[in-house]
Amino acid sequence: MSTSQKYVLTNITIAPMSEGERYGGLIENGAIAIEGDKIAWVGIADQLPEGISAWDQRDLKGALVTPGLIDCHTHLVYGGNRANEFEMRLEGASYEEVARAGGGILSTMNATRAASVEELVQSALPRLDALLAEGVTTLEIKSGYGLNLEAERNMLRAARQLAELRHVNIKTTFLGAHATPPEFNGDADAYIQHVANDMLPALASEGLVDAVDGFCEGIAFSPDQMSIVFDAAKSLGLPIKLHAEQLSNLGGAKLAAEYGALSADHLEYLDEDGVKAMAKADTVAVVLPGAFYTLRETQMPPIDLFRKHNVRMAVATDSNPGSSPMTSLLLAMNMAATLFRLTPEEALRGVTLNAAKALGLDSQKGSITAGKQADLAVWRVQHPAELTYRIGFNPIEMSIHGGNIRD
Ligand code: NIG
Ligand code: FE
């Protein structure tokens, strides 16, 4: 669709998901005007401004329109899979035991290092398509299974190529600090120096890095080690995120918040101190119910404390071969409600405006607001709560990415 194209979606219910009211204030008998790649106007159809009412109209016959969904935490690009470890865990091994025995992230590292960029792209495409088929218009993809310069570069290039192959926006996140690769013989400090001083600056200079993440955990890196990576990110002007408090409370989210992180993610073991630090920095809490479910975790993230301190919550798939082999954001919304007790409104906000904020994109995306990108999902449902309520059902009718209809 050319940038001069103008059209209006009519006969719709709109869940704008803008700040404030529930669902951003549901609009019945609504209309959305699109000009080029932007939303030109949104409101009640009867009130369409004169100039716009002459544009081409597309009657959507009572469909619900939400912002295009945003999956703000994925590890979609990787080699191989870990079905064998799934079997081991079913026989009683824990996630940490599998990791310590050389499985886990390191087994995916081996498969990822063995793959070419093209192979990484081809293996990720069906997973990407599964997300897009549910109305996802923006997602984040992390590196972190290469763990050396060349393989991390390949992962990030694959992520960039995926964005060329489909109508979707992809934000890349450098996750070099995911695990210490075997060539460092357990010297995590030396590896962190390499991540901060060599890998990150090189990949950033190639334009491959939109944000920097790490895994702050007993089986990964300490807050002190993470702060070395964050300092490097800061000096390059890159935003940060952190896998924090997933399996234990090390104070990672607090550290990330002190660095002004966009988000801290997982957070099952977070305490109130950490929640307050996140509130102060306006760091988004990204909850990942797919990992909670897969690992049969029993410790809930502190949802009530997030509400009490007005920390915004986002919901993501954490799509990865180990702790969350999941490619359904609708299912993540359902799990966030059933497992974490998020309301359907919080779940939808968690994959729209708050997910946009977790990626630093909330001024351009995440709500149906005049001036923002025309990224929309059109659903054959009557009320937005239905998106969260159903299990394994996809009521998408069409999605629109940057004004382009993607039926
Ligand atoms: O987000 N927590 C660390 N990283 C991933 C899992 C990595 C893996 O097991 O491959 C996560 O859960
Ligand atoms: Fe993750």
Q: Which residue has the tokens 């995120």?
A: 241
Judge whether residue 45 has pLDDT over 80: yes
**3: confidence class by pLDDT, cuts 50, 70, 90:** low
174-184 pLDDT per residue, tens: 999 999 999 99
Q: How far is the CA of 294 from the centre of ligand 1 (A)?
A: 11
Q: Which residue has the higher pLDDT, 88 or 40?
A: 40
Judge whether residue 325 has pLDDT over 70: yes
**Whether residue 289 has its Cβ less than 6 Å from ligand 1:** no
pLDDT, residue 96, reads: 85
Polymer length of the chain: 407
Nearest-angstrom CA–CA distance, 243 and 220: 10
329-376 pLDDT per residue, tens: 999 999 999 999 999 999 999 999 999 999 999 999 999 999 999 999
Segments in 284-366 forming alpha helices (H) = 289-294, 303-308, 329-340, 344-350, 353-358
**Whether residue 403 has its Cβ less than 6 Å from ligand 1:** no
293-304 pLDDT per residue, tens: 999 999 999 999
**Whether residue 89 has its Cβ less than 6 Å from ligand 1:** no
Q: How far is the CA of 105 from the centre of ligand 2 (A)?
A: 11
pLDDT, residue 95, reads: 84
Q: How far is the CA of 173 from the centre of ligand 1 (A)?
A: 14
Q: Hey, which bits of 134-217 come out as E strands?
A: 136-142, 169-177, 211-216
Q: Which atom of ligand 1 is nearest to the CA of 104?
A: 9
Judge whether residue 171 has pLDDT over 90: yes
Rounded to the nearest angstrom, the gap between the alpha carbon of residue 279 and the centroid of all alpha carbons in its chain is 20
pLDDT, residue 99, reads: 83
With a pLDDT cut of 90, the percent of the chain lying above it is: 94
**Whether residue 71 has its Cβ less than 6 Å from ligand 1:** no
Mean model confidence pLDDT for the chain: 97
Q: How far is the CA of 72 from the centre of ligand 2 (A)?
A: 10
Residue 251 contacts residue 221 (beta carbons within 8 Å): no
Q: How far is the CA of 73 from the centre of ligand 2 (A)?
A: 6
pLDDT, residue 186, reads: 94
Which residue's CA is the closest to the ligand 1 atom numbered 8? 322
Nearest-angstrom CA–CA distance, 346 and 343: 5
- pTM for this structure? 0.97
235-293 pLDDT per residue, tens: 999 999 999 999 999 999 999 999 999 999 999 999 999 999 999 999 999 999 999 99
Q: Which residue has the tokens 């997602």?
A: 139
184-222 pLDDT per residue, tens: 999 999 999 999 999 999 999 999 999 999 999 998 999
pLDDT, residue 321, reads: 97
**Which of 215, 269, 296 most suits a substitution to test ligand 1, by most atoms within 8 Å of the C-beta?**
215
Q: Tell which residue, 241, 264, 349, 331, has the closest CA to residue 294.
A: 331
Q: How far is the CA of 235 from the centre of ligand 1 (A)?
A: 26
Q: How far is the CA of 75 from the centre of ligand 2 (A)?
A: 6
**Whether residue 105 has its Cβ less than 6 Å from ligand 1:** yes
Q: Which atom of ligand 1 is nearest to the CA of 105?
A: 10
Q: Residue 324: how many CA atoms within 13 Å on its side-chain side?
A: 25
**Whether residue 243 has its Cβ less than 6 Å from ligand 1:** yes
Joined together, the tokens standing for residue 289 give 């119910």
